[in-house]
Amino acid sequence: MFALYMKTKNFHWHTSGPHFRDFHLLLDDQADRILAVTDVIAERVRKVGAPTLRSIGDISRRQRFQDNDAESLTAFQMLAELREDNLQMAAYLRETHDICEEQGDVASASFLETWIDEA
């Protein structure tokens, strides 16, 4: 999730073109929402006794999304790539929801249902 936040924020910083302002604001809002979810996930992880992310290296080892630091992406290419990443994130959230239900973690499952619904 944190890697998706960073990718979204990166595209926010590097978007350009005729719709710059709209895309810039959209990506900033999206990044803020992802970061808020990341914080809640970290708190739930700690509450159930598991370790959270510890460093940039830890994030790098765990990330599931491809980096894209190309200098020549259009805003529309960025949005298309983030759309695919967000669809994949929704799939990961559904998988995690199933695990939470199997483990009887109703609170985490409830959070996940909200995020899946918003995806």
| Domain extents in the chain | 2-118
Is the pLDDT at 117 greater than 90? The verdict is no
Q: In whole angstroms, give the CA distance from residue 18 to residue 47.
A: 45
Q: In whole angstroms, give the CA distance from residue 36 to residue 16.
A: 26
Q: What pLDDT is recorded for position 110? A: 94
Q: What are the helix (H) ranges across the chain?
A: 2-14, 20-47, 56-62, 75-103, 106-118
> pLDDT tens digits for 9-68?
999 999 999 999 999 999 999 999 999 999 999 999 999 999 999 999 998 898 888 888
Is the pLDDT at 119 greater than 80? The verdict is no
DSSP secondary structure letter of residue 65: S
Is the pLDDT at 71 greater than 90? The verdict is no
Whether 10 and 69 have beta carbons less than 8 Å apart is answered as yes
CATH topology of domain 2-118: Ferritin (1.20.1260)
DSSP secondary structure letter of residue 84: H
